[in-house]
Structure 1
Amino acid sequence: MCEHTVHHHLVEVAAGLSPALEAAIIRLGPLEYPRRDSHPFPHYLCRAISGQQISVKAAQSIWKRVEGSAGGAPLLDHFTPANIDVLRSCGLSGAKTKTIITIAETHRNVGLDTDELRALPVAERTARLTAIWGVGQWTADMMNMFYFGEPDIWPDGDVAARKALERLTSKRRKTVRSAERFKPYRSWLALYMWAHVDAPPDGQAVG
């Protein structure tokens, strides 16, 4: 998908919605769509969970300690109830530790195969993910956008993206309705909103 084509589409739609939004998108120019799918999906999901709601630097430091605590064993095998104290000592909160262990258990018992999940429709994939304890709609949206590369996700639960769109359009207009006009590139719209306020989504500094 060509970022120039997407940029042109977004500018055209924004022109009919809000001069401020149109100007912001024009100013940013074509953006590259980031993909973060270099690791198997369960591994990536665990790392993303560990980094949510903290700084990029803190997230990287904690994950490095988590990897070190495995002592060379496969990480998903390391994420078990027997290792709760070890994982908590790395800096993970109780909720994040429980979520990561649940993700690993789900993968072992049910399967979170990358190719299988990639082949699912977005709604079905989202349902599979949000059925996991600790994985909510926001996390599922981020996975769909950045790992699976879905171009048409509007993460209305993301405060930075929602508030940016609201400020550039109207506080009286629901952001879901505004975003609807940008189909089939709502994920890109979110990228532009984050870039506009320079606020990347939490937990996405994952290599």
Structure 2
Amino acid sequence: MSDLHARFLGTARDLSPALAEAIDAVGPVEMHSRADLPFAVALSRSITGQQLSVAAAKTIWGRVEESAGSTPLVEHFCHSRTDTLRACGLSGAKTKAICEIGAMARAGRLDDKELRDLTAAERAARITAIWGVGQWTADMMNMFYFGEPDIWPDGDVAARKTLERLTSKRRKTVRTAQRFAPHRSYLALYMWRHVDAKPV
């Protein structure tokens, strides 16, 4: 058993037997950074896939990449190519957001190294300043692109509702999550894993 898992179990037992049981059943979890693309491209891919099935998101993103041809994606994501991007299956709002991401990237405002040097809060502020990019997206990028260990994505319905159900509806989940700082990202992982777990 990892030290972090043991600490989570101890904290959970103080809060709720149901939470402790859920964390124990899931077992140790790990954070993995998925920084396999330039940040602006990864952010655009994240926006593309929101509120879609994995298969639909993959299909649309494949069309977006194909529509760019030999043009770098950051250059392709511009308002003059709105019709081309819309033809890939992107909604008007997603197209506008991706074009704004492209504009910020071309202006040097989404440089990977510079963003890594920021705090999670500073990075979130930079990201959410982009039209169409909200706090949930910033939280996901902080967790899964930059590997931040202490993000509680309270805007994520699955994580929030699961924690609420395992503890108390009368207690704010932000307050509950604070007990697991500085590793709140792991709490979200436990909640997602618990929801996805098959019934015994």
Short-chain TM bin: over 0.9
**Residues 24-67 of structure 1 deviation map (CA, whole Å, 9 limit, x = unaligned):** 00001111213210111111001111001111111000000000
2:173 is the counterpart of 1:146: no
The structure with higher relative contact order (CA 8 Å, sep 6+) is 1
CA distance in 1, matches of 2:84, 2:61: 13
Give the secondary-structure state (helix, strand or coil) at the position aligned to 1:197: helix
CA distance in 1, matches of 2:168, 2:162: 10
CA distance in 2, matches of 1:134, 1:110: 19
Letter in 2 for 1:61: T
CA distance in 1, matches of 2:6, 2:47: 34
Unaligned segments of structure 1, at least 5 residues? 200-207
CA distance in 1, matches of 2:3, 2:113: 28
Q: TM-score, normalised by structure 1?
A: 0.92
> Which residue does the alignment assign to 2:166?
168
Give the secondary-structure state (helix, strand or coil) at the position aligned to 1:60: helix
Unaligned segments of structure 2, at least 5 residues? none
> Which residue does the alignment assign to 1:183?
181
Give the secondary-structure state (helix, strand or coil) at the position aligned to 1:97: helix
> Which residue does the alignment assign to 1:81?
79
130, 133, 155: which one aligns with 1:132? 130
Judge conservation of contact 2:30–2:186 (CA < 8 Å) in 1: no
**Residues 112-163 of structure 1 deviation map (CA, whole Å, 9 limit, x = unaligned):** 1101101111111111111111111111111111101000000001000000
Aligned-pair distance for 1:73?
Answer: 1.4
65, 68, 71: which one aligns with 1:67? 65
**Residues 182-206 of structure 1 deviation map (CA, whole Å, 9 limit, x = unaligned):** 011100000010111129xxxxxxx
Identity of aligned residues (%): 64
> Which residue does the alignment assign to 1:118?
116
Aligned-pair distance for 1:96?
Answer: 0.4
Give the secondary-structure state (helix, strand or coil) at the position aligned to 1:92: coil
CA distance in 2, matches of 1:174, 1:117: 30
CA distance in 2, matches of 1:117, 1:186: 21
> Which residue does the alignment assign to 1:13?
11
CA distance in 1, matches of 2:175, 2:53: 31
Q: TM-score, normalised by structure 2?
A: 0.96
Stretches of 4+ moved more than 4 A in 1?
none
Give the secondary-structure state (helix, strand or coil) at the position aligned to 2:164: helix
> Which residue does the alignment assign to 1:35?
33
> Which residue does the alignment assign to 1:158?
156
Letter in 1 for 2:95: T
> Which residue does the alignment assign to 2:46?
48
Aligned-pair distance for 1:74?
Answer: 0.7
Judge conservation of contact 2:100–2:131 (CA < 8 Å) in 1: yes
RMSD: 1.2
CA distance in 2, matches of 1:39, 1:17: 39
Q: Size of the alignment, in residue pairs?
A: 197
Letter in 1 for 2:15: L
